[in-house]
Structure 1
């Protein structure tokens, strides 16, 4: 058991099928692959890289733009699929990371390495906010497509509140590395997007 990867080929295939659903325009396999690439970049900084990889694979496994419990359901799926592959403490950390993507506030972990892993994981999930303007704009359009059922005035109000919330934080990113790499551009992108949402239609 010890030498088997947490996310084996069978599980990757099963999860990939979920991420390939037609109604996923941003929360899809490309998003997972982008996060996995960042996890590779920062692997030396991770205490438990395999647990972070597992959290990446599962964190958007359940995604319904009309639901409010996607993170809880994704965490429950991770617990169901990964039970028996690791001890309860490790599984609990993976679950806590997934649940934290609901607010992007850092959960309380019992040790510094887990806190660091959770911080980097959440920052990887939000790295798109600090992407080049054209990539960020494509992300915004993709998220709008996922919420195609929401009427424009409601969308502008709801999305505006989300962007305002991020801009109001002292830091969008939890780690020094991501603040240096992504924070300035993220603030520019969010402010630009917010201004567009607030323009009279």
Structure 2
């Protein structure tokens, strides 16, 4: 995958619905110039071959969840911008993806002419997805984190597909190491005071998410 600051080829066949949503979002946020090239470049990144779960489908799902939770946000459009960038740089073998995604967001949004305060807030929100642990009184952080983690509260079948896709992304990791690392990640999630912070997401997703996480941990331990 190209480095976060490397030149890349703009994708000509980006999904039309997402490109239209990106263009409308940038115009609402006061962008100058044509947002199309930046949107196509973002969608090219989301379509890279190393991705199995962190794909355009994940981007679309997160944006949909942000829309559903927008009434809780202080600035829904800033959260939408952060959703576009939160996994824009993604290498399963690297640990600084969120930081590199935040740097990409600053460069792209500065280039689009967005106000500095909004650009800084987008970068803060992207970095928040390292821990998914917004501080109290951070409604925009709560919406982004809940939208990103919403997959955990899906049906058992949808959760199994998500878990399988994550395993594919980490195919280079030996099975025993993957089981240990994955179980540690899931336990950290279960240890959070709340998996979901917005009232709507908590009511709908917390119980099934905890059941899905516990079931996957049991499977991982049984396989070991």
Structure 1 length as normaliser, TM-score? 0.91
Match of 2:46 in 1: 19
The runs of 5 or more residues in structure 2 that have no matched partner are 1-24
CA contact (8 A) 1:97 1:107 kept: no
CA displacement at 1:61 relative to structure 2: 0.5
Match of 1:181 in 2: 204
After superposition, the C-alpha distances for 1:43-64 in whole angstroms (9 at most, x for unaligned) are 3332212111110000100000
1:38 aligns with 2:65: yes
The runs of 5 or more residues in structure 1 that have no matched partner are none
The structure 1 residue matched to 2:132, chosen from 87, 104, 111, is: 104
Match of 2:221 in 1: 198
| Matched positions, count | 195
Structure 2 length as normaliser, TM-score? 0.82
Whole-angstrom CA distance in 2 between matches of 1:42 and 1:200: 37
CA contact (8 A) 1:104 1:122 kept: yes
Deviant stretches of 4+, over 4 Å: none
After superposition, the C-alpha distances for 1:82-140 in whole angstroms (9 at most, x for unaligned) are 015222222111111100111111158xxx5xx10111111100000001110000000
Q: What RMSD over aligned residues (CA atoms) do the two structures have, in Å?
A: 1.8
The structure 1 residue matched to 2:188, chosen from 161, 165, 170, is: 165
CA contact (8 A) 2:59 2:84 kept: yes
Match of 2:179 in 1: 156
After superposition, the C-alpha distances for 1:149-199 in whole angstroms (9 at most, x for unaligned) are 000000010000001111122211122221101000000000000000001
The structure 2 residue matched to 1:129, chosen from 136, 152, 160, is: 152
CA contact (8 A) 2:70 2:143 kept: no
- Identify if the C-alpha distance between structure 1 residues 147 and 186 changes in structure 2 by more than 3 Å, giving closer, same or farther: same
CA displacement at 1:12 relative to structure 2: 1.9
After superposition, the C-alpha distances for 1:12-60 in whole angstroms (9 at most, x for unaligned) are 2111111111110000100000011112222333221211111000010
